[in-house]
Chain A
């Protein structure tokens, strides 16, 4: 089946830093999505990308849909403590929000 490789698996952030994570796939998707999951909760959608090459922002978050349709990245600028959590990329082939393929997640932690 399709696989999404997400990196890094984990990272430490210091308040104010910019962070970046990315996702690559062995096959193309029509839609790329980025979710954040807090402990004990389900994933919450952060950004959705619908066209190859698209660059979209949501507050301090910026994500891009790779031109080859096989990759995407997510940047968080000026990180704050509440950015801690697990971030998942997901690819979708169909037009509707169903049958997503998820990456393994990037765990964002605060530097001790």
Chain B
């Protein structure tokens, strides 16, 4: 059982480059979300989705786009990377049922130079 799978594990970008962080889950979860983790700040919600075709902004959405064309996948796009987006990115999912826990992937470490 793979759970939540994130790729790539590491990525280095130059300022202005674009890329997509991939996230896939095989648990048939309705809810998926993206967080970024910075030192001393815990995890902050970027975007989330309550089901295929539905996305919404979290606490720090600027500079990121998402889409949810299938239940399984929830990619995060950086259209023009900036050094401030250097961070560790975590994708998470849950079934959406009451008291259902959030399952996290193992993260993507992104460096923007």
| B-binding residues in A (CB < 8 A) | 1, 4, 6, 9, 31, 33, 40-45, 48, 50, 88, 90, 95-105
Judge whether B43 and A88 touch: CB under 8 Å: yes
The answer to whether A97 and B45 have CB atoms under 8 Å apart is no
Of B33, B40, B43, B45, chain A has the most CB atoms within 10 Å of the CB of: B43
Nearest-CB residue, chain B, relative to A98: B31
Count B interface residues, CB 8 Å.
29
Instruction: Say whether A6 contacts B42, CB under 8 Å.
Output: yes
**Chain B residues with CB below 8 A from A4, complex form:** 42
CB distance from B58 to the nearest CB of A (A): 7
How distant is A24 from chain B, measured CB to nearest CB, in Å?
A: 14
A31-B99, A50-B99, A98-B102 given; 12 more Cβ-contact pairs under 8 Å: A1-B59, A33-B101, A43-B43, A44-B104, A90-B43, A96-B96, A96-B100, A97-B101, A98-B31, A98-B48, A100-B43, A102-B43
4 shortest interchain CB distances as A-B pairs? A42-B104, A97-B94, A102-B42, A97-B102
A102 to B46, CA, bound (A): 13
Which residues in B have some Cβ–Cβ distance to A below 8 Å? Answer: 4, 31, 33, 35, 40-45, 48, 50, 58-59, 90, 92, 94-102, 104-107
CB-CB under 8 A from B107, the residues of chain A are 40-42
Cα-based distance from A97 to B45 in the complex (angstroms): 13
- With A96-B97, A99-B33, A99-B48 known as contacts, the answer to whether A45 contacts B102 (CB < 8 A) is yes
A60 to chain B, nearest CB (A): 20
Provide the residues of chain B in CB contact with A40, threshold 8 Å: 106-107
Give the most central of A1, A43, A48, A102: most B CB within 10 Å.
Answer: A43
Complex interface: chain A residues within 8 A of B97 (CB): 96
Say how far A78's CB is from chain B's closest CB, in angstroms.
25
Instruction: Check if B40 sits within 8 Å of A100, measured CB to CB.
Output: no
Cβ contact within 8 Å between B100 and A42:
no
Q: What chain B residues lie within 8 Å of A95 (beta carbons)? A: 98-99
29 contacts between A and B (CB under 8 A): A9-B40, A31-B99, A33-B101, A40-B106, A42-B90, A43-B43, A44-B104, A45-B101, A45-B102, A48-B101, A88-B42, A90-B42, A95-B98, A95-B99, A96-B96, A96-B97, A96-B98, A97-B94, A97-B102, A98-B31, A98-B48, A98-B102, A99-B48, A99-B58, A100-B45, A101-B45, A102-B43, A103-B42, A105-B40
